[in-house]
A and B are shown apart, each in its own frame.
Chain A
Amino acid sequence: MIKAKEITKSYGREQVLKGINLQINDGDFAVILGASGSGKSTLLNAISGLERPDGGSIFYDNSDISGLSDDELTKFRKNNVGFIFQQYYLLPNMTVSQNVRMGADLAQNSEYQSIIEAVGLGGKLNSYPSELSGGEQQRVSIARALAKQPRVLFLDEPTGALDEETGRQVLDYIIKLWNDKQFTIVMVTHNANIAETAKTVIRMKSGKIAEIYTNDTQKNSYEIGW
């Protein structure tokens, strides 16, 4: 369980997070929804241990990670979380297989090839990122994050750089993964339609949580508008 208590964060004089309180249960599929500048990515960075908040506490079960040093946070990320970003950030000079090993080696996961096959890239083990389409690159970044066997998977606008069809495919794959493995997913998006695929929706506005609600029925990616 992830619990955030009175999280604040400022950049210069601008307060981006203004006392955030939230709780994400184990196995939840939570979406942080908000317009540009609402503080959703900053919140994701804080609760995932990428950035330290200025104030407040973040608990993973009973451990507070808000006071950890840089080295301790690195170790925390190594053992607990996986990331998928809008821009993929694959290593351009390494093949699909080598990119996925970036995550797999941390978890000493020797089964990483089956994950590459599961994301439909079994035939492209030796391809470089520049030889793949945007959707394929995002699937490599998903495989890389999954190969790490994270407890919580954080996704920052994972479909933001993709066209509609590819975006729907990637989203569908993420939903399928969550249904199969039931690990915790926290996804940031500005798209209210995408939020309909989640179990829990945390809507942010101007650095505060405007509302938290649970979807009665989770839709798949082909049942939502884009």
Chain B
Amino acid sequence: MIIKKQGVKLMIPAIMAACAVFICALFLNYRQDLLLIESQIIPEQSVYFEAMKTTSVVVCAVAGGCLLITTAIMLIFYVKHYIDTHKKQLGILKALGYSRVKIAANFWIFGVSVLIGTSVGLCGAFCFMPWFYDIQNKDKLLPEVTLGFHAELLVFLVILPTVFFMALGIVYAIFKLKMPVLMLIKENFRSKARRTGHINNDGLFLENLKKTTLKSRKSLIFFLMFASFCYGAMTQMSLSMNDLASPVMGGMMLFIGLLLGFVTLFLAVTTVVDSNTQTIAMMKVFGYSQTDCKHAILDGYRPLSYIGFGIGTVYQYALLRIMVDVVFADMENVPTYEFDFAAMFTSLVSFVIIYEIFMVAYSAKIKKITVKEIMLRE
């Protein structure tokens, strides 16, 4: 049932996992193979050798590691969101006499999306590696690094994450299903609002709704900011690192940045709209226009997305600065690196265009929401 209904959405964490494992596998495997030639390194090559080792770890930790953590957070959020929005169905199953463990056992399926994603990422990395190794070996600055397979990567990048997320889905479902049946069944429309700080009853409805929408799902703020962060950081990095790295690296960064930006933005905005279907439907029943609905539900996220883009800009500059000033500090003929305003401008303009296209698309989705949808959910 979960696969049928959530197939497309389950693809999103799978894509995230694939990107994360692709980068980690590529650089960790290269590092492991580098270590195998350590005994052949002559003193003149040691600086470059150490720089390559450090680069692998830095790229893996900063890019792959961040992606892995984000994928994990996204999946935890996704499992939680799925269970929270399907409490009613779960409550009915429980009412019919299915045990908690029996119902929760079905949530192993979330691990499958991780298995698919990480496997694709690992296979993709190994397909890409011969080309990647050729590029690294071309300069002949080090003895030839031969491509080898390291089984521990399969364990740490595929098997363990899969098992972790299978267990996570099951454990979280067991925890949630502790709730009494009636609470599960009724909670969709009687969800408890958290009292947070001062309540402003004087403000206009649309402004209050905008603030409440933002406050009610803080995790979505993170994902929207992360989407713009990825887009800003990765696209600018790929555009401004021409002198520092191969075009392949630049292309890879660009691809991953666009992919992560798109899928995260898609997931976050879809969740915002889905979780506010009842509110949007009632606003339309009362006579609020499509523009009003979009303003109250989606527009509050815009400034936060631009902040995410700004953080991404600073992050990519700091990362490249560290690479040039620290990692390659002892090497000769390292190109100078300055902040690339042209890259920032190109990235910002394309981001604004893409973001607004997304908003127009979701505004059209809002238009299709009717009061019947929420009545049918009853």
Contacts and interface: CB of A to CB of B under 8 A. Distances in A.
Interface in A22-78: 50-51, 70-71, 74-78
Interface in B38-52: none
The contact size tier of chain A is 35 or more
The contact size tier of chain B is 35 or more
A197 interface: no
A9 to B, nearest CB: 12
A135 to B, nearest CB: 14
Interface in B338-378: 367, 370-372, 374-375, 378
Contacts of B55: none
Contact of A94 (B190, B192, B208): B208
Given A129-B190, A130-B191, A77 B201 contact: no
B286 A102 contact: yes
A126 B199 contact: yes
B189 A87 contact: yes
A212 B290 CA distance: 38
Contacts, number: 93
A97 B212 CA distance: 14
Nearest to A80: B287
A74 B287 contact: yes
B288 interface: yes
Contacts of A87: 189, 375, 378
A75 B282 contact: no
Nearest to A104: B205
Contacts of A94: 193, 208-209, 212
Interface string A72-109: 00111111001101011101111101100111111000
B374 A103 contact: no
A102 B207 CA distance: 11
Contact of A78 (B199, B208, B288): B288
B187 to A, nearest CB: 9
A128 B205 contact: no
A2 interface: no
B176 interface: no
21 contacts: A50-B285, A74-B287, A74-B289, A75-B289, A87-B375, A88-B189, A89-B189, A89-B282, A91-B209, A92-B191, A92-B192, A94-B209, A94-B212, A95-B201, A101-B205, A102-B286, A105-B205, A105-B206, A125-B201, A128-B193, A148-B286
